[in-house]
């Protein structure tokens, strides 16, 4: 199993470029099967989940060529075959084949998806949505067979604005007769990215990025091209690293509107930065202040930056409180943070207290999940001495060219098997 070794406390300068967003890209690949024949996706991040999605698409007889960061997908000879459990459990995004294949073929067979172990993560909202469009869902031992002789568009109200369900129902609705309206839809930027791709295919989608999305179903699509947005969570992670260790560090690929909640919180903590166009310049800040952070759906503070900002708050003076409202098991990183010298206490199931500032010391730790791993990585970069992060593959699921990007700005970091 691979591990990351970090020699901490090196200042970071130069430029780091943000890659395409994982959570957009992993939806755009399954969405590509809805294009007439050919599609191109630019700015695809080099992360493990993309490899698994390509495996699934090749199984479905799509031809995929990779050139630099672009994927050329030819779905003209596609076949609808059951997706085996060993592939679908590799990542959460395998569930997007439910919506896409249901729209295209009226049938899909797939297992419950995988993804980080950060809570129960049910998919009931997706299933209810498919059923409302007229599909029949059979579940036998985690294996889902979803069929529809005909999907019919209607107004669907989500009990919770789930990112995955919003995208999945958008995909399914492209194959429905008439108009589907999603009320209380998620508003995350990834949804806008997927909607743009569908629009480029000639599908009518209106309102993506708001709470009400309208999709007019059609099987008549064209070939399509899309570029993956820069990853707002990767941006946030490097910004936090810059606030702790930057020496005029430049972060390129910032979309300010996607990370507004983080930027406001950083100002409150006492962190200065300059944004010029799509580039942020940030340097190490002193005298950080403790704050309260509450994770919320977009445009609120993103849950995927909760664990990284926890590490930042170990360096802030006073008592910070982090409230996690999306997942019930997203504090597992704190066990190792405390072993490195942090003082964090889980007050209730979803509330964490962090007392700072604390000097961190390098030691052997284990990445339990993607963003928890990122939290330990940041801790390793600021800690005195050597940090070894075991099970680092989970971190590589979300950060493209992680060690190269960090080495290029001066970090002493390497991956070994
Ligand atoms: N939920 C339900 N029922 C559903 C769907 C969701 O109860 O049918 C609950 C979940 O259990 C969770 C909350 O709603 O408590 C949010 O889930 P959502 O569906 O919005 O999240 P997701 O689609 O499973 C995506 C990202 C996550 C990110 C969340 C929230 C992908 C592949 N994953 O997950 O990314 O945390 O949205 O923004 O897009 C990560 O990148 O580290 C990551 C976990």
CB 223 within 8 A of CB 36: yes
**pLDDT of 120 higher than 90:** no
Interacting residues of 33 by C-beta distance below 8 A, sequence separation 6+: 57, 60, 62, 75, 78, 97, 100, 101, 104
Give DSSP secondary structure letters for 301-323. B-GGGHHHHHHHHTTSBEEEEEE
Which atom number of ligand 1 is nearest to the Cα of residue 163? 20
Please give the model's pTM, rounded to 2 decimal places: 0.97
SS3 category, 116: coil
Q: Could you check whether 3-19+230-416 and 22-227 share the same CATH topology?
A: yes
pLDDT at 115: 84
Q: Which two tokens stand for residue 226?
A: 């899309």
Distance from the alpha carbon of residue 121 to the mean position of ligand 1, in angstroms: 7
Model confidence pLDDT, tens digit, residues 246-270:
999 999 999 999 999 999 999 999 9
Q: Is the peptide bond before 299 cis (omega within 30 degrees of 0)?
A: yes
Task: Say how far apart CA 242 and CA 367 lie, in whole Å.
Answer: 21
Whose CA is closest to atom 9 on ligand 1? 121
Nearest C-alpha neighbor of 48 from the set 401, 388, 303: 401
Q: 3.10.310.30, 3.65.10.10, 3.20.20.140, 3.40.50.300: which CATH number matches 3-19+230-416?
A: 3.65.10.10
Question: Is the shortest distance between the CB of 158 and ligand 1 below 6 Å?
Answer: no
Domain boundaries, the chain: 3-19+230-416, 22-227
**Percent of the chain having pLDDT more than 90?**
95
Distance from the alpha carbon of residue 288 to the mean position of ligand 1, in angstroms: 31
Distance from the alpha carbon of residue 178 to the mean position of ligand 1, in angstroms: 28
* pLDDT band per the 50, 70, 90 thresholds, residue 243: very high
Question: Is the shortest distance between the CB of 326 and ligand 1 below 6 Å?
Answer: yes
Q: Report the residue among 90, 163, 394 best suited for mutation to probe ligand 1: largest number of ligand atoms under 8 A from its CB.
A: 163
* Residue 116 is a catalytic residue: yes
Strands 279-282 and 364-366, by their bridges, are unpaired
Nearest C-alpha neighbor of 234 from the set 251, 214, 211, 213: 251
Distance from the alpha carbon of residue 43 to the mean position of ligand 1, in angstroms: 23
**Fold topology of 22-227:** UDP-n-acetylglucosamine1-carboxyvinyl-transferase; Chain (3.65.10)
Model confidence pLDDT, tens digit, residues 335-365:
999 999 999 999 999 999 999 999 999 999 9
Q: Which two tokens stand for residue 344?
A: 């964090």
């Amino acid at each position: 199993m691979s591990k990351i070794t970090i020699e901490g406390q090196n200042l970071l300068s130069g430029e780091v470029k943000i890659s395409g967003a994982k959570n957009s890209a992993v939806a755009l690949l399954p969405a590509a099967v809805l294009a007439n024949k050919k599609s191109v996706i630019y700015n695809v991040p080099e992360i493990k989940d993309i490899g698994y999605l390509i495996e699934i698409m090749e199984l479905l007889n799509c031809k995929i060529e990779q050139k630099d960061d672009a994927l050329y997908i030819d779905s003209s000879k596609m076949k609808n075959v059951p997706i085996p459990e060993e592939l679908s459990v590799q990542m959460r995004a395998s569930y997007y084949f439910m919506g896409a294949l249901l729209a295209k073929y009226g049938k899909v067979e797939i297992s419950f998806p995988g993804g980080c172990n950060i809570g129960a993560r049910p998919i009931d909202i997706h299933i209810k949505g498919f059923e409302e469009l007229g599909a029949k869902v059979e579940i036998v031992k985690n294996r889902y067979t979803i069929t529809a002789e005909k999907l019919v568009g209607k107004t669907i109200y989500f009990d919770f604005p789930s990112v995955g369900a919003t995208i999945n129902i958008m995909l399914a609705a492209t194959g429905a007769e008439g108009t589907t309206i999603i009320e209380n839809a998620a508003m995350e930027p990834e949804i806008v990215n997927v909607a743009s791709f569908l629009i480029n295919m000639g599908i009518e989608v209106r309102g993506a990025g708001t709470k009400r999305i309208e999709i007019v179903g059609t099987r008549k699509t064209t070939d399509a091209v899309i570029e993956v947005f820069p990853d707002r969570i990767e941006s946030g992670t490097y910004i936090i690293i810059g606030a702790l260790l930057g020496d005029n560090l430049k972060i390129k690929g910032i979309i300010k509107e996607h990370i507004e909640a983080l930027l406001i919180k950083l100002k409150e903590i006492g962190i200065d930065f300059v944004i010029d166009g799509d580039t942020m310049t940030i340097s190490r800040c002193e005298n950080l202040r403790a704050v309260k952070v509450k994770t919320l759906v977009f445009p609120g503070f993103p849950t995927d930056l909760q664990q990284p900002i926890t590490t930042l708050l170990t360096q802030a003076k006073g008592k910070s409180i982090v409230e996690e409202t999306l997942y019930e098991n997203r504090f597992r990183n704190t066990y190792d943070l405390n072993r490195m010298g942090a003082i964090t206490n889980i007050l209730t199931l979803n509330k964490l207290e962090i007392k700072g500032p604390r000097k961190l010391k390098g030691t052997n730790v284990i990445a339990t999940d993607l963003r928890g791993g990122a939290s330990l990585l940041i801790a390793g970069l600021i800690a005195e001495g050597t940090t070894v992060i075991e099970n680092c593959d989970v971190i590589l699921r979300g950060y493209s060219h992680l060690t190269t990007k960090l080495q290029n700005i001066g970090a002493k970091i390497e991956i070994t098997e």
